[in-house]
């Protein structure tokens, strides 16, 4: 795939939307991802490293043990052996709900520069059932009233498959290396509201239940029945690209015009792809994106360094990050941190990638130095 046609303009009329809808498919999804990744000077579709680059990035499908199960992966590896005394553990980027690894196209260069200096590897992956990974069947066996069982099954779907990937492709990850998996607050912060806050919201919702509109009651019903937000987009068929376009043009207005078009085409193709693990949403969250089992109530069990990063215009409440760090401290883990990035919303890694990249590299460097000191 040497030549990539430029992404078409975001549709704002029905005919253009219909043409865009017909073009959606696995081939177009691959092209849309490649457009974003080829912005990286070290990305090599042919798996041939450039002699002028300290790292090379390649895209692969990592086959798992189950038939037709594979994980779409971008691997960034050094082109020359490191002379350092410390061999860093790989850094892993895991995207948020319904997104994909190409959302990080503004962050991979900074990570690659750091990795090239340290002789480290960086992996960005699409969760199974999302992005360009295999769209496999997703189901939960637990009863509807078994909240704990539903949450456990949904979380295990992702944890188990990622563990298989790490064993197959990356090797066993431990928390003693410099590159422990990076958290940018995307999929973790969505569960951050405290239990008290969630109960307050529930009480408020019950008080206003009689005043809910018919549309709101329909939304609540569909959520409880397992519908996902992306099913609604798919249900609009030929109008879908125009609907997604309104979101893309508004949400990514801070990107260049070309970047916005490329992001729109990427989002459109992964959104309209076959439904799969997106169905986890109603098992993990209540209507309104309030967690069934908030992370803040469970985070004390974790013993590894954890960093939360929020945008100052984030729809998630940063107070959840503050409380989570405090819960870690009370449990004896003083390695929790929370940062607030200016001029950024929920997609902090896109809205203010410079500040976000600096924070990520700072945390990776801190762990690297800690391990180097322990081994000296």
What whole-number percentage of the chain has pLDDT above 70?
Answer: 85
Q: What is the pLDDT of residue 15?
A: 98
Torsion of CA 175, 62, 5, 22, to 10 degrees: -110
**How many helices and strands, by DSSP H and E, does the chain display?**
14, 8
Q: What is the pLDDT of residues 256-309, one digit of tens each?
A: 999 999 999 999 999 999 999 999 999 999 887 788 999 889 999 999 899 999
Residues 6+ apart with CB under 8 A from 310: 185, 189, 316, 318, 321, 338, 339, 340, 341, 348
Owning domain of residue 49: 39-184+193-228+275-294+363-375
pLDDT band at 187 (very low <50, low <70, confident <90, very high): very low
Tokens representing residue 193 in the block: 């509201």
- Are the beta carbons of 294 and 195 closer than 8 angstroms? yes
Average pLDDT, stretch 216-245?
A: 90
- Tell me, yes or no, whether 8 lies in a domain: no
- Are the beta carbons of 349 and 103 closer than 8 angstroms? yes
pTM for this entry? 0.87
- Tell me, yes or no, whether 253 lies in a domain: no
- Tell me, yes or no, whether 202 lies in a domain: yes
- Tell me, yes or no, whether 21 lies in a domain: no
Backbone region of residue 343 per phi and psi (left: phi > 0; alpha: psi in -120 to 50; beta: other values)? left
Q: What is the pLDDT of residue 141?
A: 94
Q: How many domains does the chain have?
A: 1
- Are the beta carbons of 54 and 80 closer than 8 angstroms? yes
- Tell me, yes or no, whether 109 lies in a domain: yes
DSSP label at 279?
G
What whole-number percentage of the chain has pLDDT above 90?
Answer: 65
Q: At what angle do helices 108-118 and 353-375 cross, to 10 degrees?
A: 20
Q: What is the pLDDT of residues 87-98, one digit of tens each?
A: 778 899 999 999
Q: What is the pLDDT of residue 178?
A: 30
Q: What is the pLDDT of residue 192?
A: 36
- Tell me, yes or no, whether 288 lies in a domain: yes
- Tell me, yes or no, whether 217 lies in a domain: yes
H/E run at residue 93: strand 91-94
**Residue 82 predicted with pLDDT over 80:** no
- Tell me, yes or no, whether 351 lies in a domain: no
Q: What is the pLDDT of residue 199?
A: 56
């Amino acid at each position: 795939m040497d030549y990539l046609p430029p992404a078409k303009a975001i549709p704002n009329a029905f005919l253009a939307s219909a043409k865009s809808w017909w073009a959606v498919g696995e081939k177009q999804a691959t092209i849309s991802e490649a457009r974003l990744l080829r912005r990286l000077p070290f990305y090599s579709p042919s798996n041939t490293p450039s002699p002028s680059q300290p790292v090379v990035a390649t895209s692969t499908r990592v086959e798992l043990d189950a038939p037709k199960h594979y994980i779409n992966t971008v691997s960034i590896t050094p082109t020359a052996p490191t002379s350092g005394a410390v061999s860093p553990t790989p850094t892993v980027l895991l995207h948020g709900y319904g997104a994909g690894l190409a959302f990080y196209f503004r962050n991979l260069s900074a990570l690659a520069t750091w990795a090239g200096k340290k002789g480290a590897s960086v992996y960005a992956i699409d969760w199974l059932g999302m992005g360009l990974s295999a769209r496999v069947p997703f189901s939960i066996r637990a009863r509807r009233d078994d909240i704990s069982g539903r949450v456990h099954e949904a979380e295990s779907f992702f944890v188990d498959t990622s563990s298989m990937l790490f064993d197959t492709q990356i090797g066993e990850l431990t928390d003693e290396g410099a590159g422990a998996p990076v958290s940018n607050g995307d999929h973790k912060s969505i569960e951050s509201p405290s239990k008290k806050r969630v109960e307050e919201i529930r009480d408020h919702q019950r008080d206003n239940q009689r005043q809910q509109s018919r549309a709101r009651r329909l939304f609540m019903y569909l959520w409880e029945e397992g519908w996902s937000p992306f099913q609604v987009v798919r249900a609009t068929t030929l109008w879908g690209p125009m609907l997604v376009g309104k979101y893309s043009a508004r949400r990514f207005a801070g990107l260049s015009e070309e970047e916005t078009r490329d992001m729109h085409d990427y989002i459109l193709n992964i959104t309209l792809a076959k439904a799969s693990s997106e169905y986890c949403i109603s098992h993990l969250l209540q209507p309104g994106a309030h967690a069934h089992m908030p992370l803040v109530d469970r985070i004390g069990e974790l013993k590894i360094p954890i960093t939360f990063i929020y945008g100052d215009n984030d729809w998630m409440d940063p107070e959840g990050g503050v409380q989570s760090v405090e819960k870690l401290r009370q449990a004896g883990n003083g390695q929790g941190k929370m940062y607030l990035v200016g001029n950024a919303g929920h997609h902090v890694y896109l809205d203010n990638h410079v500040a976000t990249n600096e924070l990520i590299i700072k945390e990776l460097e801190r762990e690297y130095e800690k391990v180097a000191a322990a081994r000296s």
